[in-house]
Each structure stands twice: as structure tokens, then as C-alpha cells.
Amino acid sequence: MDKKKLLYITNKISGSGGLERVLSIKASYLAEHYDYEVHIITLNQGDATLFYEFSNKIHFHDVTVNGVPLIYFFNYKNGIQKVVNQIDPHIICVCDDGLKGFLLPKILDNPCPMVYERHVSKIILEAEKENNFKNNLLTKLNYAIMDYGVKKYDAFVVLTNSNTSEWQSQNIEVISNPLSFFPTESSTLNNKTVIAVGKHCYQKGYDRLLKIWQIVVKKHPDWVLEIYGSFSPFHDLKTLSEELNIENNIKLFPPEKNIKNKFLEASIHVLPSRFEGFGMVLIEAMSCGLPVISFDCPCGPSDIINQNEDGILIENGDINAFSDALIKLIENKELRSEFGRNAKNNVERYLPENIVPKWDTLFKSLMKN
């Protein structure tokens, strides 16, 4: 029997972000273990080296788009349509958190069952925007387009149960991200290291984390905070750490391809995000036996963390409560070990062999219908 053709439409995937990481795991697993011929359309990828590893069974197609908005749109529409006509897929899965992704069913005129997978919270539209009439109007317009586009898809997949409250549609499915690794070993939790992972941006809340760390190091000056993620001139953590007089207790690193080893060398993982789509780094840290502390932000951490069992959820924005929780884990190795053991056990539910079959079931049900 001929393989079913599965086409992913996304943006550039050479970066170190969560969407790229998840796509590399999921698409590769489907290509290697299921009866799918997997294709991926990227935008302006060119000859860029991929940060994550993708199966060599995957077929890549790159579309070049540029110019002013109208020309960009026609380049996008014509480029995507050309590849779709060439492949003639049985299923199209869109991984594009931008506005244009919501319009693809209309642009392509639904050539086959189409699935949208949403990797971020709706709140991202309001992040770092000044509260004024123009911005509020643009946000409402974007929401209207998104709410229209959601209903044009055969299935709209979100990552957590809490994400479902952001969308008013009957085609919502919940499928979490799969783990990228699950090491046999666990951290000893002996190193005096706290780790955070993610790009430097408003969403990730590192400005809040540094204020938390200022409180913590006054009591535990022998501990170090390590942050791994893409740097940004708009979020200068080095300067902020100097202003807070904690630069000797913070180490800033670029994205780390083998982040598993860094988790295994740490003793606590922290997620200070203002909002998330899921919280991939949480389950990765927990798979390495790390206890975790996270703000209870929308959306994701409350679906992953079992309160006071494998980690601690803090009211979003409560810096003092976060620092108290961090100090508590620093001072109690036995509690760290208990949380770490539970964390490793609890995230087995995110192994690819438990998550990817849900995608296979969804795709087959849509093709059948």
C-alpha cells in the first residue's frame, strides 16, 4: 500500500526554538515509525544548517518570500500552492504561529484535511505592546482573523487543557509536545547550580528571574544561576545583573544543542515565564530528575507540574514567593531528591511513543472522514 503523504507547512526551522525542536522529534518519529511520507515546507530557509536533527527520510521544500506585504503574500501563496500541487498530500499540518497560518485553508482552498497546531498562547499578541487605541484595535482585528481561521481547519490542536479556554470552536484537540530525550541517568542534585532555558525576551521573564536571584544569593552566595538562550539587545541581562550586583552569580550562555547534559549537571530548574504555549523545557528538565519551580502562567505549567510533588507552582508575578520556594529547595536536598524522582516518573507520559500515536489517530480519522 502506498504511503500517505503528510505535509508540514512552517517557517524557517534552522533556529533553536521550541517549535523547531518539537517538529524535529514529531516529524522524524512519524517518518521512521509510521507509514507516512513526510514533507516539510519552510520559508527562506536557504542553505541554513539545522540546529536540531531531522530524519533523513523527510523531504524538504523551501519557498522564498520577500518584498512589501502585497508582494510577500503573492510569493507566499504561489510558492506554497506550487509545492502542494506537486506533492498532492493526504494531510496538511500547519505549524505557523503567525497570522498567515490561519488563512492557509482559504489560500489553498482545502485541498485535503488540514490541521493547525498552535504552539503559543494568544497572549503573545498583547505582549510588550503599549496600551493605546491603535494597538488595542490591531489586537482585536488579529483576534478576529484568528477566530475566523480556526474554524476553517478540520482540527485545531493545542498543547494543554488550559489552552482550550482561549479558543471558541468545536474542532479543538489537545495533544501535548513529546519529550526530546529521556536519559537513563538523573542529576545527582549536588551541584550548586540553578538552570533556566529559553531565549532572552519579554515572554520568558528573565527580568523577573534576576530580581528573584538577587534575593536568593543574599542567603546563598555560593549558588550560581545559568541561563541558556539566544541573546537580545532589547533584553540586556548582563547589564541588569550588574545593576542588581549579582553578575558574579549568573552565567549567560547561547543556545545549547545538547541541553540534556546541562540539565544533568544542575540541581533545580526554574521557569519565570509570563506566558507559555506549553513549557517544553519543563518536561526536559524533569526527565533529567530535576525538581522545578515555575510561575503559574498561561498556559502549560499547571498541566505539567504536580504541585508539591514534583515541583512548585507560584502565583504569576509573585517574586517573593518564588524566591522563598527556591531557597526552600536549595536548603533541602532531601526534598530536591524526592521532587526529582517524582518528576522523572511523571513525565514518562510525554515520551514520543505515548504522544505521536495520538497524531496518527487524528490523521487517520480525518482522512477516513
User: Whose grid coordinates read 505592546?
Assistant: 129
Task: Spell out a b/e string for 144-162, using b for 16 or more CB atoms within 10 Å of the CB, else e.
Answer: eebeebbebbbbbbbbbeb
Domains 4-178+351-368 and 193-350 share a fold: yes
Q: What pLDDT score does 1 carry?
A: 55
Spell out, as residue ranges, where the chain has pLDDT lower than 50.
none
Domain ranges of the chain: 4-178+351-368, 193-350
Beta bridge partners of 142: none
Q: What pLDDT score does 331 carry?
A: 98
Please give the C-alpha separations between residue 266 and each of 29, 93, 184, in angstroms, as whole numbers.
29, 36, 16
CATH of 193-350, one of 3.90.1150.10, 3.40.50.720, 2.40.37.20, 3.40.50.2000: 3.40.50.2000
**Domain at 4-178+351-368: CATH architecture:** 3-Layer(aba) Sandwich (3.40)
CA pair distance 137, 341, nearest whole angstrom? 48
Q: What pLDDT score does 295 carry?
A: 98
The H helix count followed by the E strand count for the chain is 12, 13
Beta bridge partners of 59: 39
Q: What pLDDT score does 94 carry?
A: 98
C-alpha cell at 129: 505592546
**Model pTM?**
0.93
Is the peptide bond between 299 and the residue preceding it cis, with omega within 30 degrees of 0?
Answer: yes
pLDDT in tens, 111-164: 999 999 998 888 777 776 778 888 889 889 999 999 999 999 999 999 999 889
Q: Is 175:358 a contact under the CB 8 Å cutoff?
A: yes
Q: Is 114:96 a contact under the CB 8 Å cutoff?
A: no
